[in-house]
Amino acid sequence: MKRLIYFLGPLLLAIVVVFLVDKWLGGFETPGYVLIGIGGWSMETSLVVFAISLVIGFYLFYVFFRLLGWLVKVPGQLKNRGKRIKFNRSQEALIAGLVDSAEGNFEKAEKVLIKHASHSGAPLLHYLTAARAAQSRGAFEKRDEYLRKASDRAPGSDLAIGLTQAELNLSGNQFEQALQTLTRLHSIDPTHASVLKLLHQAYQNLGDWESVRKLIPTLNKNKVMMEAEIKLLEAEAFSNLLKLAAERGDAQEVQTLWSDIPSYIKRMQGLSAIYFAAMINAGAGAKVEEELTKLLSVNWDETLLVLFGSVQSEDVAKQFAVAEKWLGLHPKDAVLLNVLGKLGLKCNEQQKAEDYLSQSINIEPTVQAYQLLGDVLFARNEKDKACECYKYGLELASSEIVSQIDAVS
């Protein structure tokens, strides 16, 4: 209605003005006329009629060209309208796909997302969400196909696509594939927090603790993890490296690793025990005997005490004497008594070994204590008593196994 008023209003106003001018000119003897001649043809009319014809002709030409312009624009407008409809549908499809994926309808989510991805303003989101849905239902080939399509449709999104691919590989236990992707992304952006976080997870799952160790300074520098988490990761890395070195029987490697470990990590609970155990397993327990003795003197620990008893000392008598001194401070320690019994056997102190092992069993029976006591009795040719000790040891071991099974079930 407004457009009609805007269009007809000026036309009517122009006609009214023309009539007013005509009325004004009527007061003159000659109100005026217009003569148009072309060749042998001529046309004469009054000024008012000519003016009205001119106004009407202008408006007709105006309407004609407006209509022509509208007709020219119609195909483009129809095309844009179709695009808007498809875009709106793709947005609705994206929302529906996200909802279906959250509800566990993964196959349905894939179909609706892929169907409308080509018309979306954010095709990357469609393909990445569809890839996650395919992963959730175990369709790894479909997942990889969607990731390839995402790369084709969004060539500038290598980082986002790569991170999604690596994350899905990790959750699917495809650690080698995840590491390949993350290594490529790391070369693109060495300080990207998400890349570094997933990279250390890939190394962990592959058991590549040396790479984890090398990555830790970068994780710390770029604030990828909290300080406490980094310290725990560092402790885990060094612990596993020590164990691997021990398995290889390389005492020198174990010592080199230990010297590289920061002091604040060495002080963490249990790490020193791993080091001593690694050295003992590598056949170099005698090298750490003195250090282990000093540590036990200031920090009494049952695990370290057991390790002390496992050291292949170059002077077993001295080792036994040191342990007997500790007995004055810890007279009721079953673990210490067990260690004394073990060392007594090594020193051929049969009676002392029997006494210490008997005391240990009275305080806290253990399979090892029964076995060692049986060995002492068997060496003295008291076979019946030795067999009885072995029997008690086996019964205790069996009950422990049953208890573990019950705990698991």
Q: pLDDT tens digits for 208-252?
A: 999 999 999 999 888 888 888 888 898 899 989 988 888 888 888
Q: What are the tens digits of pLDDT across the range 118-153? A: 666 667 777 777 788 888 788 778 888 878 888 877
User: Residue 379 has what pLDDT?
Assistant: 82
Residue 35 has phi, psi (to 5 degrees) of -120, 125
As a whole-number percent, the residues of the chain with pLDDT over 70 amount to 75
Distance, CA of 177 to CA of 195 (rounded, Å): 14
Name the band, by pLDDT with cuts 50, 70 and 90, for residue 313: confident
CA dist 331 → 338, 359, 381 (Å): 12, 10, 30
In a domain, 169, yes or no: yes
Asked if 280 and 330 sit in the same domain, the reply is no
Mean pLDDT confidence for 83-90:
55
* Residues in contact with 88: Cβ distance below 8 Å, sequence separation at least 6, in sequence order: none
Q: Which pairs from 87-91 meet CB under 8 Å and 24+ separation?
A: 87/119, 87/120, 87/121, 89/116, 89/119, 90/116, 90/117, 90/119, 90/120, 90/121, 90/126, 91/120, 91/121
pLDDT at 182: 93
Same domain, yes or no: 281 and 334: no
Query: Would you say residue 28 has pLDDT above 60?
Result: no
Q: CA–CA distance from 165 to each of 107, 111, 134, 171, 179 (Å)?
A: 19, 20, 12, 10, 11
336 contacts: CB under 8 Å, gap ≥ 6: 305, 323, 326, 327, 330
Please indicate, yes or no, whether the overall pTM of this predicted structure exceeds 0.85.
Answer: no
Predicted local confidence at residue 202, as pLDDT: 94
Distances (CA, A) of 385 to 374, 375, 389: 7, 10, 6
Q: Name the band, by pLDDT with cuts 50, 70 and 90, for residue 398.
A: confident
- pLDDT value of residue 24: 59
pLDDT value of residue 382 = 85
- pLDDT the model gives residue 206: 93
> 366 and 339, same structural domain?
yes
Q: Could you read off the pLDDT of 255-283 as tens digits, one per residue? A: 888 888 888 888 887 888 888 988 888 88
164 in a structural domain: yes
Q: What is the mean pLDDT of the chain?
A: 80
> Minimum mean pLDDT among 121-135, 199-213, 291-305, 375-389: which range?
121-135
Sorted by sequence, the CB contacts under 8 Å of residue 181 that are 6+ apart come out as: 162, 165, 166, 169
**Is the pLDDT score of 42 beyond 90?**
no
Longest dimension (CA), the chain: 162
pLDDT of residue 33: 64
- Is 70 domain-assigned? no
Does 61 map to a domain?
A: no
In this prediction, residue 154 carries a pLDDT of: 75
In this prediction, residue 201 has a pLDDT band, given cuts at 50, 70 and 90, of: very high
Query: Is residue 114 within 8 Å of residue 143, measured between CB atoms?
Result: no
Query: Domain span at residue 187?
Result: 114-131+141-150+158-206
260 & 197 share domain? no
Query: Which range has the worst mean pLDDT, 46-60, 157-171, 330-344?
Result: 46-60
Residue 122 in any domain: the answer is yes
* pLDDT over threshold 60, residue 25: no
Tell me: the pLDDT tens digits for 315-366?
Answer: 999 999 999 999 888 888 999 999 998 998 888 888 988 898 889 889 988 8
- State yes or no: pLDDT of 35 exceeds 60: yes
User: Residue 65 falls within a domain, yes or no?
Assistant: no
Do residue 365 and residue 397 come from a single domain? Answer: yes
Q: Are residues 376 and 286 in the same domain?
A: no
Q: Is residue 257 located within the same domain as residue 275?
A: yes
Residue 22: predicted pLDDT:
60
pLDDT band at 205 (very low <50, low <70, confident <90, very high): very high
On whether both 324 and 407 belong to a single domain, the answer is yes
Count CA within 13 A, CB hemisphere, residue 53. Answer: 7
The reply to whether 2 falls in a domain is no
Whether 12 is in a domain gets the answer no
Hey, which of 35-39, 228-232, 376-380 has the most confident mean pLDDT? 228-232
Helix and strand element counts for the chain (H, E) = 20, 2
Give the model's pLDDT for residue 318.
92
Q: How many domains does the chain have?
A: 3
Q: If you average pLDDT over residues 290-297, what whole number do you get?
A: 90
Q: Extract the tokens encoding 110.
A: 């894939």
The answer on 249 and 266 residing in a single domain is: yes
- Where a domain ends, among 284, 310, 336? 310
Quote the tokens at residue 198. 């997933």
In DSSP notation, 93-145 reads: HHHHHHHHHHTT-HHHHHHHHHHTGGG-S-HHHHHHHHHHHHHHTT-HHHHHH
Contact 212, 241 (CB under 8 A): no
Residue 362 shares a structural domain with residue 375 = yes
Dihedral of the alpha carbons of 131, 132, 137, 142, in degrees to the nearest 10: 10
- Supply the pLDDT for residue 74: 60
Judgement on whether residues 407 and 326 belong to the same structural domain of the protein: yes
Please tell me the distance from the alpha carbon of residue 313 to that of residue 330, in angstroms, as a whole number. Answer: 22
Residues 251 and 289 in one domain: yes
